[in-house]
């Protein structure tokens, strides 16, 4: 019964979003629509992907969550659990407030990352796995990004979840490849916030994006000055953390 109610709720929320999104998209440029699609795209790890997808397809539940049984979950290797986390969020997280694209999104550095799993979120055991195996997670993310030449939204959220500040040089390197994925700059800010880095926490940028009058849709303009400032602050933060 609960599973049926979950399905009805999802369909209702999806319908509301579809109606508002269709109207909103009429105001968007092709460039903004394409950027938003790229911004919300996940990376699919190759590690045991066929096996993991087969297990996910067999999940059945009459609860509000969609989880593998403990036995099935524990049967996965570390790499397979990583793949499972990256393509499937277990906990239902209902939110009927639609998150609509931002006009001229490709020209803005956003305060927050999007959710790659609409209506769902990583469960406690999934975030515990990521944090317990943070070194392996960083290595797997890096290897996957080097192969695909892009860092999906799920990888960015995983790095933020494990406070992977050690990846800052790699994040900067990935951004500089084409200077187009502005969420990599958002991720750098998130890592500075996670570690309460004073030069950023006391900055005008932080006030605009995370101050009392800010919200999840707050942004600053993407330009050369803001890019250089962001990369410089992140690099200084990394060097400080590395020194201990």
Question: What is the predicted pLDDT for the residue at 60?
Answer: 83
Place of tokens 């900055």: 203
Token pair, residue 108, equals 């803005």
Separation of alpha carbons 177 and 171, rounded Å: 10
Q: Does residue 133 lie in a domain region?
A: yes
Instruction: Specify the number of domains making up the chain.
Output: 1
Which residues span the domain enclosing 179?
2-10+44-243
pLDDT number for residue 3: 46
Domain membership of residue 132 (yes or no) is yes
Cβ within 8 Å of residue 36, ≥6 positions away: 28, 101, 102, 105
**Per-residue pLDDT, 215:** 93
Q: Is residue 199 part of a domain?
A: yes
The list of the chain residues with pLDDT below 70 reads 1-26, 61-63, 95-101
- The residue written with tokens 């690099």 in the block is 235
Q: What pLDDT, in 10s, does the model give residues 189-198? A: 999 999 999 9
Do β-strands 120-121 and 91-92 pair in parallel, antiparallel, or remain unpaired? antiparallel
On whether residue 233 sits in a domain, the answer given is yes
Q: Is residue 123 part of a domain?
A: yes
Structural domain contains residue 25: no
Q: Are 187 and 113 in contact (CB under 8 A)?
A: yes
CB count in 10 Å sphere of residue 84: 26
pLDDT at position 240: 98
Residue carrying the six token digits 């030449």: 149
pLDDT tens digits, 13-29? 544 444 445 545 557 89
67 close to 74: Cβ distance less than 8 angstroms: no
| 20 domain residue, yes or no | no
Report the pLDDT value the prediction gives residue 95, as an integer from 0 to 100. 67
Distance CA 32, CA 227 (A): 19
Q: Is residue 61 part of a domain?
A: yes
Structure-token pair, residue 219: 């942004």
């Amino acid at each position: 019964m609960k599973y049926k109610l979950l399905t009805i709720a999802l369909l209702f929320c999806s319908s509301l979003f579809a109606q508002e999104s269709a109207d909103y998209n009429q105001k968007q440029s092709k460039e903004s629509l394409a950027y938003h699609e790229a911004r919300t795209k996940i990376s699919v790890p190759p590690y045991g992907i066929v096996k993991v997808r087969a297990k996910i397809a067999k999940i059945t539940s009459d609860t509000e969550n969609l989880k593998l049984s403990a036995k099935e979950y524990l049967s996965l290797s570390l790499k397979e659990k990583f793949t499972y986390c990256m393509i499937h969020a277990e906990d239902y997280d209902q939110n009927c407030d639609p998150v609509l694209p931002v006009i001229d999104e490709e020209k803005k550095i956003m305060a927050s990352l999007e959710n790659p799993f609409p209506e769902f979120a990583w469960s406690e055991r999934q975030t515990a796995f990521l944090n317990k195996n943070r070194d392996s997670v960083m290595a797997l993310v890096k290897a996957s990004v080097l192969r695909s030449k892009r860092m999906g939204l799920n990888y960015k959220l995983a790095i933020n979840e494990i406070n992977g500040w050690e990846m800052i040089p790699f994040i900067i390197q990935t951004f500089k490849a084409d200077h187009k994925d502005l969420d990599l700059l958002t991720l750098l800010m998130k890592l500075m916030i996670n570690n309460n880095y004073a030069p950023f926490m006391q900055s005008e940028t932080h006030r605009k994006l995370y101050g009392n009058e800010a919200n999840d849709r707050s942004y600053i303009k993407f330009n050369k000055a803001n890019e250089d400032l962001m990369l410089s602050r992140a690099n200084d933060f990394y060097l400080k953390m590395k020194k201990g």
